Amino acid sequence: MIKSLASFVKLVNKNNVFLEQVRYASQALPQLSSEKYNIHRKDFGRIESSDVDYFRSVLGQDRVLTEESDVLPYNVDWIKNCRGQSKAVLKPKSTEEVSTILKYCNERKLAVCPQGGNTGLVGGSVPVFDEIVISFSLMNKIIDLDDLSGALVCEAGCVLENLDNYVRERGLIMPLDLGAKGTCHIGGNASTNAGGLRLLRYGNLHGSILGVEAVKADGTVIDCLRSLKKDNTGYHLKHLFIGSEGTLGLVTKVAIHCPVLPKSVNLGFFGVKNFENVLKLYKSAKSKLGEILSAFEMADFDSINFTAKNLKLPNPISDYPFYVLVETHGSEETHDGEKLTRFLTNEMESGLILDGTVTSEPAKMQTIWNLRESIAAAGLVGGYVFKYDVSIPLKNYYDLVPILKKRLGDKATKVFGYGHVGDGNIHINVTVPQYTKEVSSMLEPFIFEEVSKLNGSISAEHGIGFRKPKYIHYSKDQSALGLMKDLKQLMDPNGILNPYKVLPDHI
Ligand code: FAD
Ligand code: 2HG
Ligand code: ZN
């Protein structure tokens, strides 16, 4: 049954090729963030040549970048919406160096912006004014892997895909996977509490991360780098650094639990008539596939069609209003095959699945995943894309897409919705020929108000960063914001860590 459903996928695309192509496709630079969003510089020190001399004395000549052309890529975010004005990039190689740099910056009140792979989608990874960029790209050592417990300990600058390749060779996988895996760092993942494609199965990073080492603003190294699954000794401090987007401390090392490499993997890509049927299919997948279900993703027609056309990727099935991607991770091929066959037979007969392809061949699975993972980049080809990563209770999950289409009319090239159904997280992308304040103000705060009315969260994955502090109150109560402010004051009294991000000015 499964084999007879399989259709042929001709082209195999190497992962992340398009990520880089899109990133460097346009030479146009975004307007300075401070001007675009009318931000006022806070009262920080200004970097002087004596500071550069000091940094060079700690890091050496080569690991302090000050040439404008060298610094530029660190000033511009992936989506090309934000541009900072940093004059210096520091590239530490050890925790001790990070600590020394921060102690100095804190004393001089020099603001810093930590940067991992710079794939963040909310402007958090680039400076706004002249914050000094601290890049983790040279802190990329794997420290230890316990293949019995699955605990991996590594430095913050390890690229997620490199870690995944490393642990796979040893019978394990990383507990998270995302389209930016070839570029993003594990430290960036921890700092954003990244979700991704298999959160449904392996949970979020607050669960998978066993411990962290982080450096506070004053240079104090906080050692919470335990590799234990259970450790109830007092406050769970690691959580302060997971998802705080570099505003409470700089993550220098991570201990993370890696699940066992599944022996049997299957991937289905199905055409579905309407969104109601997507939800019915999800319910059925949960009950019929049970513990082997590892991903349940959906994309509407425009998401897939636009991506296939813009990035010249093959769509292995014909056109449908909705697409669903179902993946299983299991340990026994026959057992998984039987379950999958039952699910498919049932849902093809019931009409929930109109057509589709199922495969366990790595190259074919890669082609399907590549199409899904490339949706994020498709909107950047020849234009600009407003991105939202909201979570909404499932019954209203897709409601905002038609509402926004109607609201924007021909002001938008496309409005499409896709995402992690299993996590209640939809990505809404609005593509336009270029960024304009007019479209921006038609979208914001409207979309956040609607999400709030639906009891959702204004950010399910990408965080608050630079772009959303003024909207955080739609998802955080005043009492919680007050505590966030107190924690920030306690851990970073001079406010030098990633200023203008996450916390709104007035709480
Ligand atoms: P950066 O972008 O460099 O930084 C992100 C934030 O973390 C910034 O605020 C930065 O200051 C801070 N930071 C970085 N490193 C450190 C550190 N060591 N210590 C303290 N603070 C630090 N996100 C998802 O959650 N799920 C997805 O499925 C997903 N898919 C994506 C697909 C594409 C194609 C792209 C471009 C992005 C996607 N993202 C996704 C967003 C992004 O990849 C994640 O947020 C990722 O975790 C960022 O990692 P990074 O190393 O690039 O961090
Ligand atoms: C995804 O799930 C990412 O593909 C990116 O979180 C979403 O770019 C986006 O809107
Ligand atoms: Zn996502």
| Strand runs labelled E in 400-503 | 414-420, 425-432
Output the pLDDT for position 9: 26
- Supply the residue whose CA is at minimum distance from atom 5 of ligand 2: 376
Domain membership of residue 67 (yes or no) is yes
Give the CATH number for residue 205: 3.30.465.10
Domain membership of residue 325 (yes or no) is yes
Q: Any idea which ligand is nearest the CA of 461?
A: 1
The pocket around ligand 2, CB under 6 angstroms, is made up of 121, 179, 375-376, 387, 389, 419, 427, 429, 461
Q: Is the CB of 241 under 6 A from ligand 1?
A: no
Helix/strand/coil for 127: coil
Q: Is the CB of 498 under 6 A from ligand 1?
A: yes
**Distance of CA 44 to CAs 47, 111, 402, Å?**
9, 6, 45
Are 328 and 292 in contact by the 8 Å Cβ rule? The answer is yes
Q: How many CB atoms lie within 10 A of CB 487?
A: 15
Write the pLDDT tens digit of every residue in 370-390. 999 999 999 999 899 999 999
Write the pLDDT tens digit of every residue in 474-496. 999 999 999 999 999 999 999 99
The yes-or-no verdict on residue 19 having pLDDT over 70 is: no
The whole-angstrom separation of Cα 477 and Cα 417 is 28
Domain membership of residue 502 (yes or no) is no
- Supply the residue whose CA is at minimum distance from atom 27 of ligand 1: 196
For tokens 């179902």, the residue is: 326
Output the pLDDT for position 191: 98
Q: CA geometry: angle at 297 spanning 292 and 303, to 5°?
A: 160
Helix/strand/coil for 191: helix
The whole-angstrom separation of Cα 210 and Cα 265 is 26
Write the pLDDT tens digit of every residue in 322-353. 999 999 999 999 999 999 999 999 999 999 99
Domain membership of residue 443 (yes or no) is yes
| Strand runs labelled E in 372-481 | 384-391, 414-420, 425-432
Q: Any idea which ligand is nearest the CA of 195?
A: 1
Output the pLDDT for position 16: 37
Q: Any idea which ligand is nearest the CA of 161?
A: 1
Average per-residue pLDDT for the chain? 94
The whole-angstrom separation of Cα 404 and Cα 321 is 17
Write the pLDDT tens digit of every residue in 141-159. 999 999 999 999 999 999 9
Domain membership of residue 359 (yes or no) is yes
Q: How confident is the model at residue 28 (pLDDT cuts 50, 70, 90)?
A: confident
Give the CATH number for residue 59: 3.30.43.10
Given 229, 257, 285, which residue is the final one in a domain?
257
Q: How many CB atoms lie within 10 A of CB 361?
A: 13
Q: Are residues 210 and 298 in the same domain?
A: no
Q: Is the CB of 194 under 6 A from ligand 1?
A: yes
For residues 126-137, average pLDDT: 98
Give the CATH number for residue 283: 3.30.70.2190
Whether omega before 445 lies within 30 degrees of 0, making that bond cis, reads yes
Q: Are residues 337 and 304 in the same domain?
A: yes
Give the CATH number for residue 388: 3.30.70.2740
Atom of ligand 2 nearest to the CA of 388: 10
Q: Are residues 307 and 365 in the same domain?
A: yes
Q: Are residues 266 and 369 in the same domain?
A: yes
Short-list 343, 325, 328, CA closest to 419: 325
Given 204, 230, 257, which residue is the final one in a domain?
257
Q: Are residues 245 and 295 in the same domain?
A: no
CA atoms within 13 A on the CB side of 448: 18
Domain membership of residue 481 (yes or no) is no
Q: What percent of the chain has pLDDT over 70?
A: 95
Q: Are residues 95 and 32 in the same domain?
A: yes
Q: Are residues 287 and 370 in the same domain?
A: yes
Number of folded domains in the chain?
4
Q: Are residues 71 and 100 in the same domain?
A: yes
For residues 400-405, average pLDDT: 98
- Supply the residue whose CA is at minimum distance from atom 8 of ligand 1: 125
The terminus-to-terminus CA distance of the chain in angstroms comes to 59
> What's the CA-to-centroid distance between 503 and ligand 1, angstroms?
18
> What's the CA-to-centroid distance between 232 and ligand 2, angstroms?
34
For residues 2-21, average pLDDT: 33
Write the pLDDT tens digit of every residue in 189-241. 999 999 999 999 999 999 999 999 999 999 999 999 999 999 999 999 999 99
Q: What is the extent of the structural domain holding 319? A: 6-22+262-376
Q: Are residues 151 and 216 in the same domain?
A: yes
Output the pLDDT for position 24: 37
Domain membership of residue 484 (yes or no) is no
Q: How deeply is 490 buried, as exposed, middle or buried, from its count of CB atoms within 10 A (0-12, 13-18, 19+)?
A: exposed
Q: How confident is the model at residue 21 (pLDDT cuts 50, 70, 90)?
A: very low
Mutate to test the pocket of ligand 2, among 80, 426, 427, 459 (most ligand atoms within 8 A of CB): 427
Write the pLDDT tens digit of every residue in 62-88. 999 999 999 999 999 999 999 999 999
Atom of ligand 2 nearest to the CA of 197: 2
Q: Are residues 164 and 246 in the same domain?
A: yes
Q: How confident is the model at residue 27 (pLDDT cuts 50, 70, 90)?
A: low
Mutate to test the pocket of ligand 1, among 19, 178, 429, 498 (most ligand atoms within 8 A of CB): 178
Q: Is the CB of 124 under 6 A from ligand 1?
A: yes
Given 199, 227, 257, which residue is the final one in a domain?
257
Q: What is the pTM of this model?
A: 0.95
| Strand runs labelled E in 244-348 | 250-257, 264-272, 293-300, 322-330
Q: Are residues 317 and 352 in the same domain?
A: yes
Sequence length of the chain is 507
Domain membership of residue 330 (yes or no) is yes
Which DSSP string do the residues of 219-259 spell out, in sequence order? S-EEEE----S---SS--THHHHTTSTTSS-EEEEEEEE-P
Q: Are residues 393 and 445 in the same domain?
A: yes
Helix/strand/coil for 332: coil
Atom of ligand 1 nearest to the CA of 245: 9
Q: Any idea which ligand is nearest the CA of 119?
A: 1
Q: What percent of the chain has pLDDT over 90?
A: 94
Pairing of strands 250-257, 414-420: unpaired
Q: How confident is the model at residue 506 (pLDDT cuts 50, 70, 90)?
A: confident
Are 272 and 300 in contact by the 8 Å Cβ rule? The answer is no
For residues 355-382, average pLDDT: 96
- Supply the residue whose CA is at minimum distance from atom 1 of ligand 2: 376
The yes-or-no verdict on residue 162 having pLDDT over 60 is: yes
The whole-angstrom separation of Cα 470 and Cα 37 is 11
The yes-or-no verdict on residue 2 having pLDDT over 50 is: no
Short-list 462, 464, 456, CA closest to 507: 464
Atom of ligand 1 nearest to the CA of 119: 52
The yes-or-no verdict on residue 18 having pLDDT over 90 is: no
Mutate to test the pocket of ligand 2, among 18, 121, 184 (most ligand atoms within 8 A of CB): 121
The whole-angstrom separation of Cα 156 and Cα 187 is 4
